[in-house]
Structure 1
Amino acid sequence: MTHDAPAEHVEQNRRFWDDEAAAWHGPLARAHWAQAEPSWGLWATPESQVSLLPEGIDGMRTIDLGCGTAYVSAWLARAGAHPVGIDVSERQLATARVMQAEFDLDFPLLLGNAENVPFEDNTFGLAISEYGASLWCDPYQWIPEAARILVPGGRLVFSRYSPLFALCARPEGPASAALSRGQFGLTRLDWGNRMEFVLPHGEMIRLLRACDFVVEDLIEIQAPQSARDYPEVSADWAQQWPSEEIWKVRLAG
C-alpha cells in the first residue's frame, strides 16, 4: 500500500486547532466532561446503544489518539481505566488541564502527534479516537502506530466521517444529496485551512488487515429525529444516509 499524503498536514491541522477551532470547541468541553454516560459523534449516540467501550476496561491502560479536550479520557478514567491523552494542539490540551482541575481527574496529557506516539510497543489494551487521529491524521501512519503500541488482542475503536459523507461534502454549506467528488483515489479532503482523511471502506479494511487487525464491527450512525443541523451536514441528510461511523477492531494475537 502506498500513499502520497503531504507531511505538512500535521502543521496545517495544528494551526487550525490552535488558531480557529479551539475558540469554539473549548466551551463544549465542560458539557462533555460532565456527562454521566459517554455519547459519541455529531449525533451524541449513547454508549448504551453502540457499546463502543470494550468489557474489562477497569484497570486497563488506554490511549486517546488526538484527544482534544480529553473528555473521552475523562470517561475512561471514570470507568476505571488508566488513560493517556495525546494531541498536537497546545490550546486544546490547556483546556483539558483546566477541566482536569475542575473535575478532579488526573491523567497524563501529552503534546504530540498520533502518527508518532512516544510509547514502547505493546503498551496499551485500548486505543481510541473520536474524530481525533481518526479524521485529522494520515491513516497510513496512525493506524500502524496504533497497532504497534497495542498489546496482542488489544482493541482499537474509532469514529469518523463516513466515505459517503466525504463524497457529498462541499467547501461551503452542508453535504449535498449529489456526489461532489469521485470515490477512486479518495484519501483526504483538503479544505485549505485544514486537511481531513477519509478512506473508502475497502481501502480501510485492507489497511486494517495489513496491520493485523480483525474487524469486529462497523456501525453506520443514523441521526435521531431530535438532531439539530451542523454547518457541514444537516440532520435530514444524516437521517437518510450515514454521515459518520464507528469501527471496532482487535489486534490479532
Structure 2
Amino acid sequence: MTRADDPEGAELQRSSAEHVLGTVGVSKRTVGTVESRSANRLWWDADADDYQAEHGSFLGVSDFVWCPERLREEQAGLLGDVRGRRVLEVGCGAAACARWLADQGAWPVGLDISTGMLRHAAEGGRRSGTVVPLVQASADCLPFAADSFDLACSAFGGIPFVADVGAAFREVARVVRPGGRWVFAVTHPMRWIFPDDPGPTGLTVTQSYFDRSPYVEIDGTGRATYVEHHRTLGDYVRALAEAGWRLDDLVEPEWPEGHTDTWGQWGPLRGRYFPGTAIFACSLDG
C-alpha cells in the first residue's frame, strides 16, 4: 500500500520522513531509474518506523495479506501449494508474507530496497521465531542467478516504485524457473483518476486515467524524495507479455461485508463501487 494512497498516513509522515528529507511539495515530471531508486530508498528508510507503527497490526507479524480488502493468501490460494518451494518476495517490507510462507513449508527470501524496512523484517523474525533470508536490492535489478526460484510474489511492494516496470518483470522472469509463477498486487490503475479521499469527495474523477506522469515529491532543490509510477491495466498486460509472462488471472477483490476500516483512500464507501486493488497472477511456460 503506497504513500499516494494514504493521506492519513501522509499527515503522520510530515512530522518525520518529510522533515528528515526536506520535502516541500509535489512535482509533475518524468523520473528515471536512478532517481526513482534513490528517492524511494531514502523515503522508506526515513518512513519505516512510522509505517510499521501505523500499519503493522493490520499486516501482522507472520501473515500474507494481499491488500486493504483483507484478502489473505490462505483464502485466495493464488500461489498454489508452496511447500518445499523457493519463493522470492519482491518489496517485502517487514517480511510478514515471507514469514507466513516459511510457516507453510516454503523456502522464502525477502527482498527490499530499504534498510529501514529490512530492519523491521529482521526484528519480526526475532519476535516470531521464523527467520527468513533478507536481501537489499531494487526490484528491477535482482542479485540472483537465473532459475533461482519456483515462485515470486509481491503484495504492494516494489512494482509501483520502479521507473521501468518492464525491466522488473524481465528480472523476475530471469530468476524464476520455467513453469514458475509470479503474482503481484498493486493499486488498481483506475484509482489514479480519483482524489485520495475515502469519503464522498473520492467518488469524483479529478485526473485522466491516461496521464502516466508519476507522483513525485521534491525537496527545496527539486530533488525527488518520493516517487510512485502510474500504469494503465493495458500497460501492465503488455509489459508482462513482453517479459515472457502469461497472464492467467486478474483478481479485483471486492470490499468485504463488515469491513469498516479505512486505509488511506480505501474504505467501504468507495469499495462498493469500484476496485482498489489489482492482483496479477502470471506463469512462465515450462
Output the TM-score relative to the length of structure 1: 0.88
Encode CA deviations 1:181-201: one digit per residue, 9 max, x unaligned: 223352633344422223211
Encode CA deviations 1:48-99: one digit per residue, 9 max, x unaligned: 44222222x1111111111100011001101111111111111111111111
Give yes or no for contact 1:224–1:239 (8 Å, CA) kept in 2.
no
**Which of structures 1 and 2 has the larger relative contact order (alpha carbons within 8 angstroms, sep 6+)?**
2
Tell me if 1:115 matches 2:140: yes
Take 1:210 and 1:169, find their aligned partners in 2: how far apart are those partners? 32
Structure 1 stretches (4+) deviating beyond 4 angstroms?
A: none
Give yes or no for contact 1:222–1:240 (8 Å, CA) kept in 2.
no
SS in 2 for 1:75: helix
Q: 1:181 to 1:191 in 2, by over 3 A?
A: farther
Taking the TM superposition and a 5 Å limit, the aligned residue runs for 1:27-66 are 28-29=55-56, 32-34=59-61, 38-55=64-81, 57-66=82-91
How many residue pairs get aligned? The number is 246
Amino acid at match of 1:71: A
Tell me if 1:24 matches 2:24: no
Take 1:111 and 1:207, find their aligned partners in 2: how far apart are those partners? 24
Q: CA RMSD in A?
A: 2.1
Mark the runs of 5 or more structure 2 residues left unpaired by the alignment. 1-29, 219-224
Take 1:205 and 1:24, find their aligned partners in 2: how far apart are those partners? 30
Encode CA deviations 1:1-53: one digit per residue, 9 max, x unaligned: xxx64121111111221112432325644664445x63321121133442222
Tell me if 1:228 matches 2:261: yes
Take 2:266 and 2:217, find their aligned partners in 1: how far apart are those partners? 15
Take 1:201 and 1:32, find their aligned partners in 2: how far apart are those partners? 26
Q: 1:189 to 1:68 in 2, by over 3 A?
A: same
SS in 2 for 1:158: strand
Give yes or no for contact 2:48–2:116 (8 Å, CA) kept in 1.
no
Take 2:161 and 2:79, find their aligned partners in 1: how far apart are those partners? 21
Residue in 2 that maps onto 1:136:
161
Give yes or no for contact 1:12–1:195 (8 Å, CA) kept in 2.
yes
Residue in 1 that maps onto 2:172:
146
Mark the runs of 5 or more structure 1 residues left unpaired by the alignment. none
Q: 1:27 to 1:177 in 2, by over 3 A?
A: closer
Take 2:182 and 2:217, find their aligned partners in 1: how far apart are those partners? 28
Take 2:217 and 2:181, find their aligned partners in 1: how far apart are those partners? 31
**CA offset at residue 241 of structure 1?**
0.5
Residue in 1 that maps onto 2:38:
11
Select which of 239, 243, 251 maps to 1:219: 251
Q: 1:33 to 1:203 in 2, by over 3 A?
A: same
Tell me if 1:101 matches 2:133: no
Residue in 2 that maps onto 1:201:
233
Take 1:223 and 1:195, find their aligned partners in 2: how far apart are those partners? 27
